[in-house]
Homo-oligomer: A and B are copies of this chain.
Amino acid sequence: MATQPAPAAAGHNSAVDADDRLRLLVERVERLEGEKKGIQDDIKDAYAEGKLSGYDVKMMKFIVAARKIKPDDWREMQMLRETYCNALGLPW
């Protein structure tokens, strides 16, 4: 399994301190996860509003995704695709 042994208190502290440390960590993660869920809901709201304005959700997501790809990369992808497909005698 190769998991660590139960954490001995780092240094001279007692087990209680170590437990508190763990608890703090866990609660911090839980708080962050809560914030994350809030953001996710906001994103969902944004798409919902867009939908009410007549936009297609799928399309909006496509735009957001497409804007993440740098145009140079896009061109290169296209060229590579064509180059290799030609080289392989693509059936298209």
B63 touching A21 by the CB < 8 A rule? no
Say yes or no: A35 contacts B29, CB within 8 Å: no
Residues in B with CB closer than 8 Å to A10 are 53-54
Report whether over half of chain A's contact residues are helix, strand or loop; otherwise say mixed. Answer: helix
Find chain B residues with CB under 8 A from A23 CB.
Answer: 87-89
A: residues with CB less than 8 A from B are 1, 3-4, 6-10, 18-19, 21-23, 25-26, 28-30, 32-33, 35-36, 39-40, 42-43, 46-47, 49-50, 53-56, 58-60, 62-64, 66-67, 70-71, 73-78, 80-81, 83-85, 87-92
Q: List 7 A-B contacts (CB under 8 A).
A: A23-B87, A29-B46, A29-B60, A32-B39, A62-B84, A71-B91, A78-B92
